[in-house]
Amino acid sequence: MVPQHVLVLNASYEPINVCSMRRAVVLLLKEKAEILEHAPRAIRGVVRDFPAPHVIRLVYRVKVPRYEARRMSRRALFARDGFECQYCGSRSKLTVDHVVPRSRGGDSSWVNVVTSCAPCNARKGNSLCHEVQMYPRRKPRPPRADVFVDVAAPRRPEAWSRYLAVA
């Protein structure tokens, strides 16, 4: 099977994104990117078979905002926290919890939100941690620069590992 996701490196080899196979092929056809790793199989084409990309590199360097400066998504937050409730470890009914509740002045920055299951979130409600003795297992922090990989592909393909090792 042709892998669904393609790892995108900047011209500087820094991993910057994961895109669809279709998007990667467009970049390659427009000569905006080159293939660094092929997927095991080719894409069947009408005129000719096209080698399926697995890792591509942009020809021109693009400026990328640091991940922590990008808008936070629920999925990126869950990926940062290993898809586990930061209060009880549950992996189901995940929600976004504000450590300092918004009603009490907390913001939605990376350092004030954690993954929480719905029951823990309801139990914590509008309380501060010390009021209910509920503390996140890990201190919330901005995610690693390559968290986008886990967001797009929770299982990292083997062929990507050496490009991500330098991230």
**Residues interacting with Zn ion, by CB under 5 A?**
85, 87-88, 90, 117, 120
Q: For residues 88 and 167, which CB has a smaller minimum distance to Zn ion in the complex?
A: 88
Q: For residues 59 and 122, which CB has a smaller minimum distance to Zn ion in the complex?
A: 122
For residues 127 and 25, give the distance between their C-alpha atoms in angstroms, rounded to a whole number: 50
Contacts of 27 (CB under 8 A, 6+ apart): 8, 19, 33, 56, 58
Q: Closest approach of Cβ 133 to Zn ion, in Å?
A: 14
For residues 154 and 54, give the distance between their C-alpha atoms in angstroms, rounded to a whole number: 16
Q: Closest approach of Cβ 116 to Zn ion, in Å?
A: 6
Q: For residues 56 and 86, which CB has a smaller minimum distance to Zn ion in the complex?
A: 86
Contacts of 24 (CB under 8 A, 6+ apart): 6, 8, 33, 53, 56
Q: Closest approach of Cβ 112 to Zn ion, in Å?
A: 18
Q: Closest approach of Cβ 75 to Zn ion, in Å?
A: 18
Please answer whether residues 147 and 16 qualify as being in contact, where contact means their C-beta atoms are separated by less than 8 angstroms.
no
Q: For residues 2 and 122, which CB has a smaller minimum distance to Zn ion in the complex?
A: 122
Q: Is 51 helix (H, G, I), strand (E, B) or coil?
A: strand
For residues 21 and 11, give the distance between their C-alpha atoms in angstroms, rounded to a whole number: 19
